[in-house]
Amino acid sequence: MDDIVKAAMAKWPNVPHCYGWLGLDARGQWYMRDDRIQASGPFAALPGEDVTVSKGSLLKHDKLVEFIHRNYAADDSGLWFFQNGPQRVYVELEMAPFVWRLSADGGVHTHTGEAAQVRAALVDEAGHLYLETDVGFGLVHTADMLLAADHVDAGDWNPETVSMADLPKRYGFELSPQRRIQSKP
């Protein structure tokens, strides 16, 4: 976490949390979601749900994306957030907390650039490939599926078949912090 963020948190410790305003898609891209977009529908459908989704505006500013990456983390209850100075901005996840990028040399990195070591591979009923790593759990980027297939063919990874709906509970993350908060009495 950036030092400037830590300083802001210390200076203003009681800033309310923010929900629904930031989303991470299945390709590791960030989306800003204003009030109008949030009113149009959720960021992503939950497993088995048939709804109209409304992602918002793709963030393209490199410095802003890098800032989000450096200050992206999870709380103890599995809610992922971006610490924006003193304000915690909870992230709506399309599929998983991380999107894995693979390299030809066998490297695996998060969408934020952190190197990871693979512990297990999983595949869901729709054919999405996930990796459990020392860094956390995430989805393999669609552009890297040929490299992933090489790992499977070589016997490096033996994907376990799983249900997409079971993954958040199994790996301790929440796809939609906003819906979780809205459902509390």
Q: What's the pLDDT score for residue 47?
A: 83
Give the CA count within 13 Å in the CB-facing half-sphere of 37: 17
Q: What's the pLDDT score for residue 177?
A: 95
User: What is the full per-residue pLDDT of the chain (185 aa) written as tens digits?
Assistant: 778 777 776 776 777 899 999 999 999 999 999 999 999 999 999 888 999 999 999 999 999 999 999 999 999 999 999 999 889 999 999 999 999 999 999 999 999 999 999 999 999 999 999 999 999 999 999 999 999 999 999 999 999 999 999 999 999 999 999 998 877 66
Neighbouring C-beta atoms of residue 28, cutoff 10 Å: 19
The secondary structure of 82-133 as a DSSP string is EEETTEEEEEEESS-SEEEEE-TTS-EE-TTS-EE-EEEEEE-TT--EEEEE
d(CA 157, CA 173): 23
Q: Which of helix, strand or coil describes residue 121?
A: strand
Q: What's the pLDDT score for residue 86?
A: 86
d(CA 90, CA 178): 8
Exposed/middle/buried for residue 56 (C-beta within 10 Å: 0-12, 13-18, 19+): buried
Q: What's the pLDDT score for residue 76?
A: 94
Give how far Cα 1 sits from Cα of 4, 49, 83, 84, 115, Å: 9, 35, 8, 10, 17
Q: What's the pLDDT score for residue 104?
A: 95
Provide the whole-model pTM: 0.91
Q: What's the pLDDT score for residue 166?
A: 97
Q: What's the pLDDT score for residue 94?
A: 97
Q: What's the pLDDT score for residue 165?
A: 95
Q: Which of helix, strand or coil describes residue 93?
A: strand
